[in-house]
Amino acid sequence: MRIRTDPERCIGAGRCFLAAPELFDQNDHDGTVVVLVDQVTGDALEGARAAVDDCPTRTLSLTEG
Ligand code: SF4
C-alpha cells in the first residue's frame, strides 16, 4: 500500500508522528506532515492505518500500489 497525503488539509496536529514515528516526520518550516516511507507492508501497515485513523483532518489515506 502507498501512503497519500493532501497537503492542503494538514494542520500539523502531529497525531501521525505519534502513531507511527517511523513513517512520518514534521516539516521544519510549517509543521505539516512529511511521509518518510510511502510504500508500506507488514507491521508498517499497522502504523500507517493507525495514523490514517488518527488524523483529524483526513489528510492521510492508503491506496493500492
Ligand atoms: S495527523 Fe493529519 S493533520 Fe496532523 S500532522 Fe499528521 S497528517 Fe497533518
Chain-centre distance for alpha carbon 57 = 11
Distance from Cα 42 to the centre of ligand 1, integer Å? 22
Query: Which CATH architecture describes the domain 2-60?
Result: 2-Layer Sandwich (3.30)
CA-14 nearest atom, ligand 1: 5
Q: Distance from the CA of 43 to the center of ligand 1, in angstroms?
A: 20
Give me the mean pLDDT over the 27-56 stretch.
Answer: 95
pLDDT tens-digit map of 18-37: 999 999 999 999 999 999 99
11 CA to middle of ligand 1, Å?
6
Which three cell numbers, joined as nine digits, stand for 26?
A: 514534521
Domain ranges of the chain: 2-60
Which three cell numbers, joined as nine digits, stand for 17?
A: 508522528
Across the strands, what pairs with 4?
61
pLDDT at residue 56 in the model? 96
Quickly tell me which residue has 494542520 as its cell.
Answer: 11
